[in-house]
Chain A
């Protein structure tokens, strides 16, 4: 039984075809950011917590504060340069919007965090302190700044990875707030 090596001419095009599909895929990939990981918590209740207040040591704040009002939970730290960038925008949002801004100080030192608030202003209604990433890990926080939009029933509706500027506020966050505002 002999084997011949002839193939139909079109089968020689297969490698080229595979490669072009691969190139298209890679071209698409160039536009993506591999560091952006979407949150699996969107649409789920925010993980509950009990953390120390940043401003008043010894006082505990629980996640009940998220119920009843729409909240922005902003994860920040004094060592994070982008947090400083968005800080001005956060102050403007706190002033102009009726959403309650909760500060979530993450993997930081109390003294440095308070210094930053003193120097640049405090946009937060309440600030919690999570130096050991005990709660951040439940929320899927892996960098700063990150901002969670939580509706009045305590359900996470959006996670913004990265700093917030005017454009991000208007195009990404405000629509989510408007969408879930009427509920509860």
Chain B
């Protein structure tokens, strides 16, 4: 009964979405207020029915209702309660329901926090959200209904994929989806602006906080995915350029460019067509990512549903939404663009470089991800594109981005003098080149060109930002003025600052762990000791050990440094009772400056020997710390006072805008 209620709720949500897409939009053309005023209640109604549907499916999971096919496929009576909840989004149908619920959440949020936006604008924004909802709800109801019943009712479910029975992974999809779906708001704002034929600084100001919040969630989601892969998959890797990882990275790159481009449009009225195009692209890449992992076009460790019929539906949807919006862009953008001139040496220029490089990176990742398909279509045979290509491409382009990141924040808007910049930044430049030289030549520690490049670039970022901070505080009374500055309308500067430092932290982490980490495969007998990177690892054999829904072999490793015992690790090899391949649980001793990581391979022989892998991972935590810093930076920027006070006033379209730091 309850699953049917959920199904019905979805149908009602679809009905509301149909009305939501048409009536407010039409009202914005013929000027009928009552029609436009329906937008907000419709958005609320959507969310209500989607929440009901979600709750019904949740109930089915929590009560082990295996008469619902999706529950039988994803869950199991022995599954710990918390994972029964996260099993809801463990498979294709449920994750779609989560996606569309998020869409409802964002739509309702826009309805709630937009009191001071003009009614025609908000009607159009909500209408576009409704159009996207129609597509997803149709897809769900026609091809991927999570409420489908199963007869005869199995006494036991199949179980959630053991890889997914993990706290990190439970949270990863909701975070990611909040990000992907959040970009739909910027998308809707862009479409609404194109329809209305007006794109001004006020529009940019409204779009910014939404975009930043979506970006924060996406950053956290990607960082979580990377961290999870590291500790769960057992090989100590943190990024594989897997198609699905790329599917999340491309919207992130576009979203980052969008955030920066919006800043320029708000403050200087420039980059208008760039910003609109980026807003369309960020969401389009989110949709494209959704397509790639559900259609069977690419294989991946992640691919949800490899089903060409579903793929055709999504592709048709993509053509309508993305093709339609790009066609609208081609038609209307020429009318709304223009404005905001700037000189060659100006902050706008550096942000333009930023836009171009981020867009290029996103396109290259797209190309690399789709290359196997392109080659096959052209008859050039089957290839696969992996690590080496992506890494080379990324390392080739990103230094230019980092160089621009160092100069941009210190550069004035519209016009600046190269001499002034040189005076400000020559010290960071010299010091960074020094670090590059020292680290490359291996004078102080074993190094190579890549280490030099990585450390040199991060030094450049940190030092240039210290300079920019010093310049800023110079007029605010030095370091003491920092607190006051944070309290008023300048948080966005500190948000930028923190996020950019996060990038520097990432570069250090990635460079060090890639160049100075080690992996040792060996066979150990109980009692054996092996030394890696100055630490002694003593293996004390493996004992059988049972969990709630698995049986395991649990190894014990004691780690010593010198005479001191550092830690005792318990890596496991688990066989889940519901069947499937054995899972490896790594034993990790985490640290700020290094991780020690042990995983069990296979038992060898009959004396209790095991093939084991010992990893030394220096600075690997810096990679996820960087994600945290970037998210915090975004949070600081969003909490800037100017967005709050703007809500209480009727905004006046700010023409050129004041040049704010």
Contact = CB atoms under 8 A, between A and B. Distances in A.
Interface residues of A, number: 28
B348 to A, nearest CB: 8
A9 B338 CA distance: 12
A125 interface: no
B273 interface: yes
Among B273, B291, B376, the one with the most A-chain Cβ atoms within 10 Å of its Cβ is: B376
Contacts of A19: 284, 322-323, 326
Contact of A30 (B271, B297, B323, B339): B297
B338 A30 contact: no
Interface string B324-354: 0011011001100111111110000000000
Contacts of B298: 29, 34
B377 interface: yes
Contact of B338 (A2, A6, A22, A35): A6
Interface string A1-36: 111111101001101100110110111111110110
A37 interface: yes
B323 A29 contact: no
Among B272, B299, B326, B374, the one with the most A-chain Cβ atoms within 10 Å of its Cβ is: B326
A5 B270 contact: yes
Given A5-B337, A15-B329, A30 B308 contact: yes
A38 interface: yes
A12 B340 CA distance: 19
Contacts of A12: 273, 329-330, 333-334
A25 B374 CA distance: 7
Contacts of B284: 19
A75 to B, nearest CB: 20
Interface stretch (B312-320, B422-430, B453-461): B312-320
Contact of B326 (A7, A15, A31): A15
Given A16-B327, A25-B374, A34 B297 contact: yes
B381 interface: yes
B211 interface: no
B341 A4 contact: yes
A3 B342 CA distance: 6
A25 B333 contact: no
B311 to A, nearest CB: 5
B330 A29 contact: no
Contact of A25 (B273, B281, B323, B377): B377
A52 B382 CA distance: 34
Contacts of B341: 2-5
Contacts of A20: 319, 323
A23 B319 contact: yes
B343 A13 contact: no
Interface string A33-65: 011011000000000000000000000000000
Nearest to B338: A5
B343 A3 contact: yes
B329 A16 contact: yes
B330 A15 contact: yes
A34 to B, nearest CB: 4
A73 B270 CA distance: 67
Among A4, A13, A20, A23, the one with the most B-chain Cβ atoms within 10 Å of its Cβ is: A23
B250 to A, nearest CB: 12
B323 A38 contact: no
Given A16-B323, A19-B322, A38 B381 contact: yes
A25 B373 contact: yes
A32 to B, nearest CB: 6
A7 B337 CA distance: 9
Contacts of B270: 5
B494 to A, nearest CB: 30
Contacts of B373: 25-26, 28-29, 32
B463 interface: no
Contacts of A6: 337-338
Interface in B614-637: none
Contacts of A4: 338, 341
A5 B340 contact: yes
A13 B299 contact: no
Interface string B346-384: 000000000000000000000000101110110001100
B315 A26 contact: yes
Nearest to A14: B330
A39 to B, nearest CB: 11
B296 interface: yes
B299 A29 contact: no
Nearest to A2: B341
A34 B308 CA distance: 12
Contacts of B319: 20, 23
A30 B277 CA distance: 27
Nearest to B308: A30
Nearest to B341: A2
B295 interface: yes
A34 B330 CA distance: 35
Contacts of B340: 5
A178 B270 CA distance: 69
A3 B268 CA distance: 14
Interface string A70-93: 000000000000000000000000
A3 B376 CA distance: 43
Nearest to A32: B376
Nearest to A23: B319
B275 to A, nearest CB: 12
B330 A30 contact: no
A25 B319 CA distance: 12
Nearest to A10: B330
B355 to A, nearest CB: 13
B312 A2 contact: no
A175 to B, nearest CB: 21
B329 A23 contact: no
B312 A23 contact: no
A135 B255 CA distance: 50
Contacts of A9: 334
B48 to A, nearest CB: 35
Contacts of A25: 370, 373-374, 377
B305 to A, nearest CB: 13
Contacts of A7: 273, 334, 337
B371 to A, nearest CB: 11
B330 A16 contact: yes
Contacts of B377: 25, 28-29
Contacts of A31: 308
21 contacts: A3-B342, A4-B338, A5-B337, A7-B334, A7-B337, A12-B329, A19-B322, A19-B326, A20-B319, A20-B323, A22-B370, A23-B319, A25-B370, A25-B377, A27-B312, A27-B315, A29-B373, A30-B308, A30-B312, A31-B308, A34-B372
Given A29-B376, A32-B373, A34-B372, 15 more contacts: A1-B344, A2-B342, A5-B271, A5-B272, A5-B339, A6-B337, A6-B338, A12-B333, A13-B330, A19-B284, A26-B318, A29-B373, A30-B315, A34-B297, A37-B382
Interface of B: 270-273, 277, 280-281, 284, 291, 295-299, 308, 311-312, 315, 318-319, 322-323, 326-327, 329-330, 333-334, 337-344, 370, 372-374, 376-377, 381-382
- Nearest 3 A/B pairs, CB to CB: A16-B326, A29-B297, A12-B330
